[in-house]
Structure 1
Amino acid sequence: MFPKEVYINRRERLRASMKDGIAIVLGNPDAPMNYADNIYHFRQDSTFLYFFGIDHPGFAGVFDLDNNEDYVFGTDFDIDDVIWMGPQPSVKELSQKVGVSNTAQFGELKNLVSKAVQEGRKVHFLPVYRAENKILIHELLGTPLGQIKEKASAEFIRAVVALREIKDEYDIKELERAAEIGYQIHVTAMKMAKAGVYEREIAGECEAIALRAGGALSFPAIVSRRGETLHNHYHGNKLDTGDLLLVDSGAETDTHYASDNTRTVPVGGKFSKKQREVYEVVLAAINKGNELIRPGVTYQSIHLEVCKVIASGLKELGLMKGNVDDAVKAGAHALFMPHGLGHMMGLDVHDMEDFGEDFVGYDDKVQRIDQFGTAYLRLGKELKPGFVLTNEPGIYFIPALIDKWQNEGLHKDFINYEKLKEYRDFGGIRLEDDILVTENGNRLIGKRIPITVDEIEAIMS
């Protein structure tokens, strides 16, 4: 938890950026795994954490925009809770730590909302991703469950995004902590990538490192010798010498800030000639992205420039042909990189994605490009100092996609389908860094995880 002045300032700025009414921020409840008392590890809602900082289940915050007041609602523990969980702080005690003096038991939330509705005041709420909170919004406002997404307040969403997308000194310090843990995760995974080891052993160690650091993984680890499957969570394969192992993993600190990095390494410690050639193209692509990231430039334009690096490198290997600019404009490169270059990162590994990608990654100036591959770019808008984002290009050889495009005769002027036959069992390579946009350019979040061929082979030896 940060000093209470941090939360007070954030809430004051939020209220100043909205017009009128009340605005509800729901914390998360506990979630049962298979029966009520056997619960998943609790994870608080990130926006509630950002403004109210209380990392306990069953809370809600309310901004009274008309009267410049904030409220916290929660449920105090009774003796039965204390018996099972030990002494617990009260709602009032927790609220005082974040500078809120107006507190009440959770059941009083309905009374406050009902009164606002009766008075004809606007009631703003954010998109809801938890079923329990959808039911709560329905009970508070009578909004049909199927309409909750569309009834969420665009004014509220935009106000929150405008604050959360610019990371302050406290955010950045926590992101640096997460990066330190992420570094340990990836270096350990590199050292474990040996013949006979199962993917699950490495995935388990990734999670163990995060847990030992007091937090958790920021998302389920992707540890796969099938790197051409972008988000492969199957961990049952045994590694063989000559495989490429893709590890996409990140840590979440005890304050819930994330890291998110990807490295791809050769099982056994040495890249083959073919692997090294493709790897160097991806390395050139990520370095180009890091070079271009700065304020005032759209991430959409950086994505397209990085795609040109990939297309150019693949052309040199004989896998693509023709004019590189034309190939990227036509979308031919997306056979090899069918995803966007990166996304926002912060309290969420895909920061604020619960609001919807278009609210976070796009705006009135920059619209999503409706083309296979580039359409999946989560962040396209102009970069500002304080943004934290990922830069994660890749090259993948996906047999089903290759067959589909070839059978449909797509991009024959740009793709050498005959040469591609030599790469059908190659797999995939992705590299990913976390970047802070600064006033004059950018810098890495944390120490760069080994990434050059020589660095990786040295670590693995």
Structure 2
Amino acid sequence: MLAGPAADGGEDEDAKSHRSTPRSAAFRRFIAQGWGPRPAEAADLDEAAPFAARRREVLSSLFPHEVLVVPAGPLVRRSNDTDYRFRPHSAFAHLTGLGTDREADAVLVLHPAGEGGDARHDAVLYLRPQAGRDSEEFFADARYGELWVGPRPSLAALAATTGLDCRDIAALPDEVGASLAAEGTRGLRLVPDADPAVTALVTPLRAQAAARADDELVTALSELRLVKDDFEVAQLRAAVAASARGFEEVVRALPRAVGHPRGERVVEAAFDGNARVEGNGVGYETISAAGDHACTLHWIRNDGAVRPGQLLLVDAGVEVDSLYTADVTRTLPVDGRFTDAQRRVYQAVLDAADAAFAVARPGVRFREVHEAAMRVVADRLSAWGMLPVDAATSLAPEGQYHRRWMPHGTSHHLGLDVHDCAQARREMYLDAELREGMVFTIEPGIYIKSEDELAPAELRGIGVRIEDDVLVTADGVENLTAALPREADAVEAWMASLR
């Protein structure tokens, strides 16, 4: 990667810097000359825009006469003078329809617009405008300069694609201040952890008015995503389809993985490379866990060998350009065939998943899906002699012995975040009834570490998880990940077909 620019002579030059960019008057005149028109920009309304507008209307109705501030977030430094690839805050993406890496430092503000009982807001998107080619930013700013990172869209182009009123970010302080000072405005709320600079900017402004609870806004933004609209469901289908193709690449990569000292990373690279080609990237760090590593729930080091006779647990999902992500787990026999012991654990997990599928439908409480899976897990562990009590006693709140081998929940909501809607209230999440349009995972597992002396010797070192993404329909659920085999015999046949 190229070093960022620095002065080339003159009083502004950093004496410690080895980097050089000319700043003479002659250079400034020369670099500003000879440029043709910029390429034509997209001017059509993006397919996400109408859905984003409806989401803003719902949010507006929840907080009448209040200024609402939702930042995209800044670039985040990885190390020294390099940044991570930008990803906007999920609430910002949800309310604007902007995905991929759009737009660092932008801020969406909902300004109160109605009077009396009218609770309308005017939505304004504030962002950095294009810099002229005669500006220093154009050639000397390694974070934002067009010569370094490419052109930003114009305010007019973003207005056309998003349907939002787009303005220069420089106007943000004055316009937020004016909204706060307007008659009838009750205060301001913002997403506080999205952009420290925006938080610092807004804090003194709202000291003039009654500060409202930001956490209530964050909760509302999370609950706004509990039921997916048609656009979101389509994006999740696309993410799942891309993830299924990624799992095919994983199977094809297994022969190379077996012969490599870091075989888990061969697997990770196969999936992640496909994710980057087909989408924005992965939705979370891929878990590629062979053998006993599968018993570490969030094993993302992925630096182990992949050996014949082992199981390989892969938990991975493609994030598409709109930032919606799949979340899929398959546990694969490295040799293409399950041993008897592996099949026994695998079948127990599959039966637990099927039990969860059987109860999932509108009107059932979210927690009941987990409870159905746990009944199967406890029953099998009891049959294998691993519980100190019977299954019924273990399932009681004061028992829970079976959770030693499955300490996580069976399901979580899925969407813009892999653990979507995480700030929703308990009564809207775990204690809520399933509703048509919800998308969540079903992912039971059993993890028996190699040093676990409470387990039969032949089961030690076996970790299995099967994870599917489901859409709640009018009378049940649709398995969005059904294209990836789940039954042991089908997994073996599928792997053989790809080899």
| Equivalent residue in structure 2 for 1:340, among 388, 409, 419 | 409
Report the CA distance between 1:258 and its aligned residue.
Answer: 0.5
Once residues 303 and 377 of structure 2 are traced to their aligned partners in structure 1, the CA distance between those partners, rounded to angstroms, is 31
| Equivalent residue in structure 1 for 2:162, among 98, 106, 119 | 98
* Letter matched to residue 465 of structure 2: R
Rg: which structure is higher? 2
| Equivalent residue in structure 2 for 1:435, among 470, 473, 484 | 470
CA distance 1:239–1:143, shift in 2 (3 Å)? farther
Aligned residue for 2:266? 201
| Equivalent residue in structure 1 for 2:352, among 285, 303, 321 | 285
Which one has more relative contact order, counting CA pairs under 8 Å at least 6 apart? 1
Once residues 240 and 267 of structure 1 are traced to their aligned partners in structure 2, the CA distance between those partners, rounded to angstroms, is 7
The question of 1:126 aligning with 2:126 is answered: no
Report the CA distance between 1:421 and its aligned residue.
Answer: 5.1
The question of 1:17 aligning with 2:68 is answered: no
| Contact 1:218 1:258 (C-alpha < 8 Å) held by counterparts | yes
Unpaired runs of 5+ in structure 2?
1-45, 115-120, 139-144
Alignment root-mean-square deviation, CA: 2.4
Once residues 196 and 192 of structure 2 are traced to their aligned partners in structure 1, the CA distance between those partners, rounded to angstroms, is 9
The SS at the match of 1:280 is helix
Once residues 351 and 220 of structure 1 are traced to their aligned partners in structure 2, the CA distance between those partners, rounded to angstroms, is 16
| Contact 1:222 1:249 (C-alpha < 8 Å) held by counterparts | yes
| Contact 2:192 2:199 (C-alpha < 8 Å) held by counterparts | no
* Letter matched to residue 352 of structure 1: C
CA distance 1:196–1:82, shift in 2 (3 Å)? closer
Report the CA distance between 1:385 and its aligned residue.
Answer: 1.1
Once residues 4 and 249 of structure 1 are traced to their aligned partners in structure 2, the CA distance between those partners, rounded to angstroms, is 29
Q: Deviations over 1:68-124 (max 9, x none)?
A: 2111100112120333344432123202322223x3221222223333445563111
Once residues 35 and 88 of structure 1 are traced to their aligned partners in structure 2, the CA distance between those partners, rounded to angstroms, is 24
TM-score by length of 2: 0.78
Q: Deviations over 1:308-334 (max 9, x none)?
A: 111112223333364322211111110
* Letter matched to residue 159 of structure 1: A
Once residues 437 and 234 of structure 1 are traced to their aligned partners in structure 2, the CA distance between those partners, rounded to angstroms, is 34
Deviates most, 301-310 or 51-60: 51-60
| Equivalent residue in structure 2 for 1:397, among 435, 442, 448 | 448
Aligned residue for 1:407? none
Once residues 154 and 237 of structure 1 are traced to their aligned partners in structure 2, the CA distance between those partners, rounded to angstroms, is 41
The question of 1:351 aligning with 2:404 is answered: no
* Letter matched to residue 228 of structure 1: C
* Letter matched to residue 228 of structure 2: K
| Contact 1:113 1:123 (C-alpha < 8 Å) held by counterparts | no
Aligned residue for 1:190? 251
Give runs of aligned pairs for residues 163-312 of structure 1, distance below 5 A: 163-194=224-255, 195-197=258-260, 198-225=263-290, 226-312=293-379
The question of 1:107 aligning with 2:176 is answered: no
| Contact 1:23 1:123 (C-alpha < 8 Å) held by counterparts | yes
Report the CA distance between 1:286 and its aligned residue.
Answer: 0.8
* Letter matched to residue 7 of structure 1: A
* Letter matched to residue 94 of structure 1: L
| Equivalent residue in structure 2 for 1:388, among 423, 436, 439 | 439
* Letter matched to residue 391 of structure 1: I
Report the CA distance between 1:152 and its aligned residue.
Answer: 5.0
* Letter matched to residue 284 of structure 1: D
Once residues 98 and 396 of structure 1 are traced to their aligned partners in structure 2, the CA distance between those partners, rounded to angstroms, is 46
Report the CA distance between 1:30 and its aligned residue.
Answer: 1.9
| Contact 1:199 1:223 (C-alpha < 8 Å) held by counterparts | yes
CA distance 1:436–1:293, shift in 2 (3 Å)? same
* More helix per residue: 1
| Contact 2:410 2:444 (C-alpha < 8 Å) held by counterparts | yes
Report the CA distance between 1:442 and its aligned residue.
Answer: 0.9
Once residues 110 and 423 of structure 1 are traced to their aligned partners in structure 2, the CA distance between those partners, rounded to angstroms, is 66
CA distance 1:331–1:65, shift in 2 (3 Å)? farther
Once residues 311 and 448 of structure 1 are traced to their aligned partners in structure 2, the CA distance between those partners, rounded to angstroms, is 29
Once residues 252 and 279 of structure 2 are traced to their aligned partners in structure 1, the CA distance between those partners, rounded to angstroms, is 23
The question of 1:6 aligning with 2:51 is answered: yes
| Equivalent residue in structure 2 for 1:26, among 71, 88, 91 | 71
The SS at the match of 1:24 is strand
Aligned residue for 1:49? 93
Once residues 179 and 458 of structure 2 are traced to their aligned partners in structure 1, the CA distance between those partners, rounded to angstroms, is 63
Deviates most, 425-434 or 245-254: 425-434
| Contact 1:18 1:155 (C-alpha < 8 Å) held by counterparts | no
Q: Deviations over 1:225-267 (max 9, x none)?
A: 1100000012221111111111000001111110000011111
Give runs of aligned pairs for residues 309-328 of structure 1, distance below 5 A: 309-320=376-387, 322-328=389-395
| Contact 1:22 1:66 (C-alpha < 8 Å) held by counterparts | no
Once residues 238 and 380 of structure 1 are traced to their aligned partners in structure 2, the CA distance between those partners, rounded to angstroms, is 42
Once residues 294 and 363 of structure 2 are traced to their aligned partners in structure 1, the CA distance between those partners, rounded to angstroms, is 34
Q: Deviations over 1:117-147 (max 9, x none)?
A: 455631111251x5xx124302321499xxx
TM-score by length of 1: 0.84
| Equivalent residue in structure 2 for 1:71, among 99, 104, 124 | 124
Report the CA distance between 1:424 and its aligned residue.
Answer: 7.0
Report the CA distance between 1:32 and its aligned residue.
Answer: 2.5
CA distance 1:58–1:335, shift in 2 (3 Å)? same
How many positions carry a matched residue from both structures? Answer: 417
| Contact 2:66 2:111 (C-alpha < 8 Å) held by counterparts | yes
Report the CA distance between 1:188 and its aligned residue.
Answer: 2.4
* Letter matched to residue 280 of structure 2: G
The SS at the match of 1:334 is helix
Once residues 106 and 154 of structure 1 are traced to their aligned partners in structure 2, the CA distance between those partners, rounded to angstroms, is 25
Aligned-pair identity in percent equals 27
The SS at the match of 2:79 is strand
The question of 1:88 aligning with 2:152 is answered: yes
The question of 1:39 aligning with 2:78 is answered: no
Report the CA distance between 1:278 and its aligned residue.
Answer: 0.7
Once residues 405 and 212 of structure 2 are traced to their aligned partners in structure 1, the CA distance between those partners, rounded to angstroms, is 38
Once residues 437 and 457 of structure 1 are traced to their aligned partners in structure 2, the CA distance between those partners, rounded to angstroms, is 29
Report the CA distance between 1:338 and its aligned residue.
Answer: 0.6
